[in-house]
């Protein structure tokens, strides 16, 4: 008997028929003798719908007071899901009970709309499991030290599931979704994308942090920190397929680099449309200027991603960086009203219509010329690179948003990711 955590995403929970299917699948695992904790997301579209209602009443505000209420509202999506799934399981003859985040409780900090899990008390859940019940726990949510309901950021049910698996030392955490695993890139953008049988934890971490929305980055961080065996697989296979076959399907996030396996140089391509670029033109090129610009940005709690400073002409330079698109207006205002005048910048410019495209692969450590191959492929498509950032296992470029799909397709081809050997 093993303790298994299943997570089902919004599409997998999208209708009562689909919820019935989820229940039948979970029932199969119970009948095979496993203890089951199930973490569903809200039904597809529901979180957007709920947040949309709030936006109608307060279009622009992101004050802590409004954010608190957004969490109050958004958390109800998962509350409906857990109740429905528990009923569907009971209808299958499987005893089950549902809990919201605060009932477990899943303790978080108080950063509304992007709270971090601090601890999980599994006493109640363990007691239910011991009593032979399936425990259905709402994803995406927790409770802070003052009993306020919090949510974990979009896609946060992944993190709930992995954190619960970590806290309970589950034997495995299975993330059921609307694709049958992790692909070389988003198959919605590149139909030739191939499923990876395994992906190393480090690559998955990079893919998630660079914008691949298949897993929320914090879920991968948790899996790494607590060594949670993690697999991404399809919820759309027939529920009654052989359980052993199902248990081996999809993509395993692997913690071991297989020395024997010929590593593909590039394993995957990620992209991110959520950033915006800002530039201070004609700032004095002198010691401390980066700090003078980025210090106030950091103080305003704005995260910075790619940074570029040009060579100077006549003692003046241009300084660009990217921020989350949600922070674009705030950053522009800060630069125009405060940082620009303080640094004697000639002008402030901004471009919210950019995107970041990245190639990822641990094979990049031991191969040279990977970045230049990337740049060549982009130049052959006439795509201008605005910024570049690299680390040991990734190279990212910032380009005009309108070329994103073209860039992803060109790179997928250039690195032979549609070939079996590259994806194996
Ligand atoms: P869920 O609702 O199950 O959490 P998500 O929509 O959050 O599902 O994530 C699954 C989606 O992630 C897929 O439908 C796919 O379009 C997208 N995706 C992005 N990058 C990848 C990738 N590398 N491999 C597979 N799917 C990806
Ligand atoms: N329902 C939440 C969202 O849409 C959490 C999740 O689906 O993981 O972001
Ligand atoms: Mg998701």
Mean pLDDT lowest among 113-117, 205-209, 213-217, 264-268: 264-268
The gap between the terminal CA atoms of the chain, to the nearest Å, is 31
The C-alpha torsion from 111 through 116 and 118 to 121, rounded to 10°, is: 100
Specify the residue for token string 């802070």: 144
pLDDT of residue 262: 56
pLDDT band at 256 (very low <50, low <70, confident <90, very high): confident
**Pocket flag, ligand 1, residue 212 (CB < 6 Å):** yes
pLDDT band at 261 (very low <50, low <70, confident <90, very high): low
8 is in an annotated binding site: yes
**Pocket flag, ligand 1, residue 213 (CB < 6 Å):** yes
pLDDT of residue 266: 94
Among protein residues, the one whose CA lies closest to atom 3 of ligand 1: 9
pLDDT of residue 422: 46
The arithmetic mean of pLDDT across residues 24-37, rounded, is 98
Contact 149, 41 (CB under 8 A): no
Helix extents (H) in 258-302? 289-299
**C-alpha 288, offset from chain centre:** 34
pLDDT of residue 259: 54
Q: What are phi and psi of 98, to 5 degrees?
A: -110, 150
Which atom of ligand 2 lies at the shortest distance from residue 78's CA?
A: 1
Q: What are phi and psi of 299, to 5 degrees?
A: -60, -30
pLDDT band at 258 (very low <50, low <70, confident <90, very high): low
Query: Quick check: 114 pLDDT over 70?
Result: yes
Residue 372: exposed, middle, or buried by beta-carbon count in 10 A (0-12, 13-18, 19+)?
Answer: exposed
Specify the residue for token string 């919605």: 188
Q: What are phi and psi of 130, to 5 degrees?
A: -65, -30
Q: How far apart are CA 239 and CA 21, in angstroms?
A: 6
Probe target for ligand 2 pocket from 41, 78, 139, 208, with the most ligand atoms within 8 Å of CB: 41
Helix extents (H) in 32-63? 46-57
7 is in an annotated binding site: yes
Distance 316 CA to ligand 3 centre (A): 45
Contact 387, 322 (CB under 8 A): yes
pTM of the predicted structure, to 2 decimals: 0.93
The arithmetic mean of pLDDT across residues 153-158, rounded, is 97
The arithmetic mean of pLDDT across residues 9-13, rounded, is 98
- Dihedral sign computed on CA atoms, order 53, 57, 63, 66: negative
Domains of the chain from N-terminus onward: 3-256 (3.40.1160.10), 268-415 (3.30.2130.10)
Among protein residues, the one whose CA lies closest to atom 5 of ligand 1: 214
Query: Quick check: 264 pLDDT over 70?
Result: yes
Which atom of ligand 1 lies at the shortest distance from residue 189's CA?
A: 16
Considering every ligand atom shown, identify the ligand nearest to the alpha carbon of residue 152 and give its number. Answer: 2
pLDDT of residue 378: 98
Distance 213 CA to ligand 3 centre (A): 6
Q: E strands, 101-171, where?
A: 106-108, 117-120, 134-137, 141-143, 149-151
> How do residues 357-416 score in pLDDT, each as one tens digit?
999 999 898 888 999 999 999 999 999 999 999 999 999 999 999 999 999 999 999 999
**Pocket flag, ligand 1, residue 232 (CB < 6 Å):** no
What is the three-class DSSP state of 176? strand
225 is in an annotated binding site: no
Query: Quick check: 260 pLDDT over 50?
Result: no
Who's near 3: CB < 8 A, 6+ residues apart?
34, 35, 37, 129, 168, 169, 170, 171
Among protein residues, the one whose CA lies closest to atom 10 of ligand 1: 214
Q: Roughly what angle, to the nearest 10 degrees, separates helices 217-226 and 157-167?
A: 10
Which atom of ligand 2 lies at the shortest distance from residue 157's CA?
A: 8
Contact 304, 323 (CB under 8 A): yes
The per-residue pLDDT of the chain, averaged, comes to 94
pLDDT band at 238 (very low <50, low <70, confident <90, very high): very high
226 is in an annotated binding site: no
Which protein residues are within 6 Å of ligand 2, measured from CB? 9-10, 41-42, 47, 77, 139-140, 154-158
Q: How far apart are CA 276 and CA 322, in angstroms?
A: 5
pLDDT of residue 314: 87
Q: Beta strand 35-40 with 134-137: parallel, antiparallel or unpaired?
A: parallel
HSE, side-chain direction, 13 A CA sphere, residue 48: 4
pLDDT of residue 424: 41
């Amino acid at each position: 008997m093993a303790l298994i955590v299943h997570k089902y995403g919004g599409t997998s929970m999208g209708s009562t028929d689909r919820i019935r299917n989820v229940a039948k699948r979970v029932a199969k695992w119970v009948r095979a003798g496993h203890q089951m904790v199930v973490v569903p997301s809200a039904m597809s579209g529901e979180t957007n719908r709920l947040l949309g209602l709030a936006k109608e009443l307060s279009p622009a505000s992101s004050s802590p007071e409004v954010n608190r209420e957004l969490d109050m509202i958004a958390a109800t999506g998962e509350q409906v899901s857990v109740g429905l799934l528990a009923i569907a399981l009971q209808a299958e003859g499987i005893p089950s009970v549902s809990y919201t985040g605060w009932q477990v409780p899943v303790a978080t900090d108080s950063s509304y709309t992007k709270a971090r899990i601090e601890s999980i008390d599994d006493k109640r859940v363990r007691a239910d499991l011991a009593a032979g019940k399936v425990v259905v726990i709402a994803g995406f949510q927790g409770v802070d030290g003052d009993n306020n309901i919090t949510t974990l950021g979009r896609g946060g049910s992944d993190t709930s599931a992995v954190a619960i698996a970590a806290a309970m030392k589950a034997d495995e955490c299975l993330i059921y979704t609307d694709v049958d695993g992790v692909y070389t890139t988003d198959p919605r953008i590149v139909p030739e994308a191939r499923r990876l049988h395994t992906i190393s934890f480090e690559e998955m971490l990079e893919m998630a942090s660079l914008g691949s929305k298949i897993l929320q980055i914090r879920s991968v961080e948790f899996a790494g920190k607590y060594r949670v065996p993690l697999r991404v697989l399809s919820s759309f296979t027939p529920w009654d397929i052989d359980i052993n076959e199902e248990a081996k399907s999809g993509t395993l996030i692997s913690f071991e680099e297989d020395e024997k396996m010929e590593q593909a140089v590039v394993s995957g391509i990620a992209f991110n449309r959520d950033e915006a670029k800002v530039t201070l033109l004609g700032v004095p090129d002198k010691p401390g200027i980066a700090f003078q610009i980025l210090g106030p940005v950091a103080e305003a709690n704005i995260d910075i991603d790619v940074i570029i400073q040009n060579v100077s002409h006549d003692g003046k330079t241009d300084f660009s960086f990217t921020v989350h698109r949600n922070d674009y207006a705030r950053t522009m205002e800060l630069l125009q009203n405060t940082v620009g005048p303080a640094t004697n910048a000639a002008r402030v410019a901004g471009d919210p219509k950019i995107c970041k495209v990245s190639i990822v692969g641990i094979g990049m450590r031991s191969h040279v010329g990977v970045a230049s191959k990337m740049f060549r492929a982009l130049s052959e498509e006439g795509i201008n690179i605005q910024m570049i950032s690299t680390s040991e296992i990734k190279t990212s470029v910032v380009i005009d948003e309108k070329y994103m799909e073209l860039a992803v397709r060109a790179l997928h081809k250039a690195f032979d990711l549609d070939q079996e050997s590259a994806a194996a």
